[in-house]
Structures are given as C-alpha cells and as structure tokens.
Amino acid sequence: MNFAFTEEQNAIREMVARFSKEVLAPRYAQREQEGGIERSVAEQLGEMGLLGGELPEAFGGSGLDCVTSGLIIEEIARGDFNVGYLPLLCSLNGQIIANFAQPELAQEWLPQIIAGRKLVCIALTEPHGGSDAASLRLKAERRGDSYVLNGEKTSISIADQADVAVVFARTGTQQQRASGISAFLVPMNLPGITTTRFKDLGQHAIGRGSIFFDSVEIPASHLLGTEGSGFKQVMQGFDYSRALIGLQCLAIAQQSLDETWEWLTERHAFDQPLSAFQGLTHPLAELQTYVGAARLQCYYSLWLKDNGLPHNSEAAMNKWWAPKLAYDVVHQCLLAHGHTGYDEDFPMAQRLRDVLGLQIGDGTAQIMKNIIVREATKL
C-alpha cells in the first residue's frame, strides 16, 4: 500500500496552492458580496489546466487521473470554497458530455468548458421532490428532428451564471420512473428559458435558483446517450463528484484548523498561550483526527475509480460525512477564536454558511446512508 502522492502530483498541488492563496483567497469575501465568480478567474483556471483535468486531451483535458483532480479541487477550495465548484461541475458534467454526447456536440462545447470560457450546470432537481430524483416531471416531447422541453428545475447551482446545462427530462411515462428519463445538453440562451436566484444563507458567489423551460426547442442531436438512459448516466457521475465534494468541504475544514492552531499558539491569556488550555486544544485534536480519516476515505474513492473498481458505497460515505464534519470543524474553530471569529471580517462565518449547503445538495445524508446500507446488505 502506497499513501504517497507522486512527484508530479506534489508539483501540481504546490502550483495550485500558490494560485489559491495569492489570487483566490483575497477575494473570497468580495465574491460573496458581488454574488458571482469573475469569468476571468474561470479562464485562469482553464489556462492552468485546472478544469476537467481528467477529461480526454482531444477535448482540451489533460488526461490526469482522478486522484490528481481531487488534489486540484482541494487546494482551490482552501482559498475559495465557492470557486471549487467550477472544477467540480466541469468534471461531473464533462464526463457525461464526453461519454454520451455526439462527437460534434462534444467538440463544440467541451473545449470551451475546459478552457473556462463557458460555465456548465447540471439540472436534475425539481420542486416537488429533491431526493426522489427518479420522479421528475419536466417533459421532453419529440417533434420531428427536435425535442420540446416544458417544466421547471429548481435548486440548481450557478443557474443564472451557466452558459449551458445538462438537463434531465422525462421522455417516457411517469410510471416508468428512472427508465423514462433522458439527458440533454441545452444552451441557456435559447428562447423560452428563464432563471431565478434564491436568497440563500450561503454560497452567494455560486448562487442557486430555478430554471424554467417554456416550449424550449432543442435539436434531437442534443440528446445525450439514448432515450431512457439519462438517470443511469447521472447516477454514475455522482459517484465521482461525491468524492470531489468531500475534498472541497474538507479543504476549508483543514484551512480553518491550520489558522486556529496558529491563533492558539500566538494568542495569550492568563500569562499562557491559548494552546496550553486543553479545553480548547483537545476538541480540535479530535477534529484533526477525523479530518485526516475523512480525507483518506475521499482519496481512496478516487483511487478506486482510477482503477476501475466499484466505489458507490465509498462515494456515499464521502458525501454524508465530509460536509457534516467540515461544518463541525469550522464551527469549533470559530468558537476557539472567540468574539474575533464571530466577526464578518474573519472568514469563519462565511465558511460556516457556505459549507452547510452541501449537507443538502447533491444527496442528503439520509440518502447516502441508504446507499451504504444497500451495498452492505446487497439489496
């Protein structure tokens, strides 16, 4: 067993870490206030090869392994949790497009997405049900050489910033459940598409909202894969993205711990450094242990994917544990900083708000535990 990263991986990590510290971290709070991520940042990520690194070189990817893509997201999220969404969405949607889009369509969109010139979102969730994704109702009706989309998607990350969306719609009957769902690549500037943005607690730089489709016509060539295969496609993709989400969350947990250890060493009370007080340090020591274990679990999932091995259960473990753990870590670090940590000029409060959303999005803890139970009992 080898737990070491390669020399190349460490070089990539150091490069991304410098960029994250110097370029991303200083504007973390500013992006929150502005409610968006600058396109120039997305393009910088693309120029550095940090978007869709594991995607084929024919589309502009770097052909990296999934473990290295995890390292990239981890370091980006250390500087700005929300910017970490861009490589995550590129990897999740990029694999679907690369594997299932017609070659001409993939060639039209993937190089632009990987270069950071176009942003892509995934549109699965609907208003009547989040966890029961197979019950979706947005309708795609075949009319000659086109499909016409009618319905609503909701709780969609970067809904109002995306240039294109991977949209899941019902081409079969409601009774068919998952087997009646298909996927489409839909440009967001088509007539009949409108978006809204929610007033959320956190993640303002990403934003979350609804997408409305009012008789939106798309060419039949924009079908991804075959009719009825959409649900299977997205579920396979989530096994990968859940490990990446785990590392995105753990990145700000570790960053918060690093800052807090330094704070406790430098700050004094009762003629001693705060690090001398076990009431402060022991809870952090426990959390440091949990973060180390959760991080290994995420990289283990990515290693399994790189080696073509099943990782459904491991991915679910990443998704329920890492966001909850990260929230607990940031909360404890905020408290350890006392009144200073509660100040909005300090990053802890924003991190707490931002990471909370991923206890809900991309699969709740309850759904993740159901997956683990299913795999463990072979049901």
The span from the CA of 154 to the CA of 212, in Å, is 9
Percent of the chain surpassing pLDDT 70: 98
In a domain, 2, yes or no: no
The overall average pLDDT reported for the chain is 93
Q: Are residues 111 and 177 in the same domain?
A: no
Query: Which residue, 326, 329, 315, is CA-closest to 362?
Result: 315
Q: Are residues 153 and 112 in the same domain?
A: no
Domain boundary among 228, 248, 265: 228
User: pTM for the complete prediction?
Assistant: 0.93
Q: What are 247's two structure tokens?
A: 């590392």
Cβ of 2: how many Cβ atoms within 10 Å?
6
Q: Which of 42-56, 86-100, 175-189 has the lowest mean pLDDT?
A: 175-189
CB 14 within 8 A of CB 6: no
What does DSSP assign to residue 194? E
Question: Could you tell me the pLDDT band of residue 379, with boundaries at 50, 70 and 90?
Answer: low
The span from the CA of 227 to the CA of 223, in Å, is 8
Q: How many domains does the chain have?
A: 3
Question: Could you tell me the pLDDT band of residue 141, with boundaries at 50, 70 and 90?
Answer: very high
Alpha carbon distances (Å) from 98 to 70, 108, 182, 231, 376 = 19, 11, 16, 16, 32
Q: What is the DSSP string of 276-318?
A: G-HHHHHHHHHHHHHHHHHHHHHHHHHHHHHTT---HHHHHHH
Q: Are residues 63 and 140 in the same domain?
A: no
* 239-274 tens-digit pLDDT: 899 999 999 999 999 999 999 999 999 999 899 998
Q: Are residues 197 and 261 in the same domain?
A: no
